[in-house]
Every structure is written in structure tokens, then in C-alpha cells.
Amino acid sequence: MDESELRAPLSRRLGRRRLIGLDAVAAVVYTLALLVFAGDTDVSVLLAVPFAAATGLPLAARRIWPVPVFAAVLSVSTATLLLGLPWDFFAAAAFALYPVALTRRRRRWIPTPLIGTVSGVLILASATVGPTDWHAVIIGRSLLGAALLGASWSLGRGVRERRAHAAHSARQLADQAVSDERLRIARELHDVVAHSMSLIAVKAGVAVHVAEARPDEAVDALRVIETASRGSLAEMRHLLGVLRGGPGSPGDAGADLAPSPGLADLTGLAERAAMAGVHVDLHVDAEDLPEGVALSAYRIVQEAVTNVVKHAAPARCRVRVEAHGLRVRIDVTDDGPGVRVLPGGDGHGLIGMRERVTMYGGDFTAGPRPEGGFAVSAAFPYEP
């Protein structure tokens, strides 16, 4: 666990120098308080001043050298106890121990829960020791000091564990966000490439077969290939531009990048499908959809129409997109034979459509129709 991940939000806001400055102020105030307390006793000033300074002033550096400061303060506090001088009940040592517990790596042989439990017991035990003689006073004060030290250690370790858990949760959320973004980008690239490549492959096959007999038709097919490839490259540049960091980044394509496609682009999709021999009857009854919902609806229709081009062309396809009551419904049907036109194995089109619908908590079905052809149906809710 990196130490920077264990810093509290307050620490990150104030900064290390300001926190050290606050520790310095606390050290001076605590030293003055010890001197005032010593002034109310019979202890000589010449003896009280060095011990008070040695107890309080090192606290200013507790964040810089946690372990040495704690060792020094603990030693001086123990000496004042044994010498019968004005004593701070190990409060300074407990204050110095907190950053040690907060920053030191965890050791399996240090039972922090047991230390916290024993500290509570010692606080109760110290209250039962009366000032009967010097030895009893020493025992009582020692028990109270040990209790304060144990409580400080337990508090520091507890805060460390809580911050470590929060940092671990934050890393998990970040990793999940990265995975989700990779899946989204993969899905977008698949939709762009699969649709365009299917159209290009169909038209390339047409051009090969009619190149000698009907050269004009072959030229028309090449124009379709050119248009489809340019559109696909534009969408891929848009995706890559987003990945490279947006406006101002070295890979930004600026004004050449088109916005994400939506329902208004379905007309162009239908026109491109017609070039591959699939006539699309398009009916759209949806307005003011959120951008992400409109993009998902477009991609679902795009993938469904691409499958018609792959498996059923030439065919007639009917597309209906309706949005009512914060729910979108998409139906794509065709009357083709269902025989694959393009060679190759099964792709990820249906999986991608199902994932998009599942992301919104909707329902998705796809399969052959009894009267012939294939049907894709998706319905999912969305937030306004």
C-alpha cells in the first residue's frame, strides 16, 4: 500500500508543510503548558525547562521522523515519571505514536485488536490505584500511560486500515471503469467495422462477377465501397480522437470529428444497406432521447441490419424504433432466406446487442420467424 494513498483528504488539502506547521504550533503550546504546570509545583525552573522542552518540542517533527520522535519523547516522559517531575501522563508520547501507527507497514506479530482491548482494561485498572505510596503512584501512572499509548496505536492502525480499504475500493472502481470503457470501445469498433466491411465485401463480390460483362455496374459497386470505407474511417477517427484525450491533444482531429451517431443517422444507414441489396423500411417514433440511449439504439439497428446484409441479402428489412413512457423498443425483421451470404464463422453481433440492452436492464430476443426470415427485438428503459 503506497503511503500517499493513506493520506486523509484533509492532509491532501492542507499540504505537508502546513501540517508540519500546525504540529510546530501544537508543540510550542504543549511545551508552554508543561512549564505552566511545573510552575505550580516545587520543581526548580532550571530542571523543569529542559524536560518540558525535550518532551514537547520534538512533536513538531513527528511527521518527518515518526519513529525517532516517538522514541525520544517516550524516553523523556519515562524519565520524568521515575524522577517524580511534573509528568504529562505520556500524552506527548501518545501524540507522537499516532503517525507511527498510521504510516508504518503492518506486522503480523503486532496484535492491534488485543492492544486496544488491553488499553481499555488498563484505563479501568489505573482508576483503582490510589495514591497510597510512591510505588503505587508509579504503577497507576504507568498503567494510564500504557493505556494512552495503546489507544493511540489502535486509533492510528484503525485509521490506516480504513484508508487502505477505501484506496483498495477506489482502485477496484477504477479498474472496473477501465474494463467497462474497453468493452464499450470494442463494441463500438465492432459495430463500425462489421457494418462497413460487410457492405464492402458484398459490393466487392458484385464487382468481381460483373467487371467484364457489366463494367458500369462494377464501377457503381466500387463507388459504394469508397463511400462505405470513408464513412467507416471517419467513425474510427472519431473513436481514436476520444481515446487520445479530446480537444487540444496531439491526436485530436478537431472539427473533422463527427458527433456520435444517433437516430437521425438511421436514414443514411438504410441508404448504405440498400447499396448492398437490402431495402430498409424505416419507421422512427422517438424524440429527445439522451445521447447514450440514442447511440445504443443506433448501434443495435446497425448491427441487426448488418446481419441482414450478411445472411439474407438481397432482402427486404423492416426497422421500427419507438420510444414511449421512458422506454425504447426496437424491432428489426427481414424476409430473407436466412442463408449466410458472406463466408466466415459466427461473429459477436448478437452478443453485442444483448450487452447493450442488458446495460439498461432491458429485454432482448433474436431468432428465425415461423413465416421465414429473422427477427431482432429489444426493449429497455432509460432515465430522462
- What pLDDT digit, counting tens, does each position of 293-337 carry? 888 899 899 889 988 888 877 889 999 999 988 899 999 999 877
Q: Could you tell me which residue, 184 or 344, shows the higher pLDDT?
A: 184
Q: What is the pLDDT of residue 132?
A: 47
Rounded to the nearest 10 degrees, how much is the dihedral formed by the CA atoms of 46, 49, 50, 52?
150
CB environment 133-158: b (16+ within 10 A), e (fewer)? eeeebeebbbbbbbbbbbbbbbbbbe
Residue 307 has what pLDDT?
85
Does the pLDDT value for residue 59 go beyond 60? yes
Q: Look-up: residue for cell 427477427?
A: 375
More confident: 250 or 208: 208
Where do we find the cell 502546513? 18
Peptide bond into 9 cis (omega under 30): no
CB 47 within 8 Å of CB 35: no
Grid coordinates 505514536 are at which residue? 97
pLDDT at 257: 45
Which of 38-52, 107-121, 180-194 has the lowest average pLDDT?
Answer: 107-121
Rounded to the nearest 10 degrees, the angle between the axes of helix 134-210 and helix 91-103 is: 20
Query: What are the two backbone dihedrals, phi and then psi, of residue 378, each rounded to the nearest 5 degrees?
Result: -140, 140
* 200-249: pLDDT as tens digits: 777 677 777 777 777 777 777 777 777 777 766 666 666 666 555 544 44
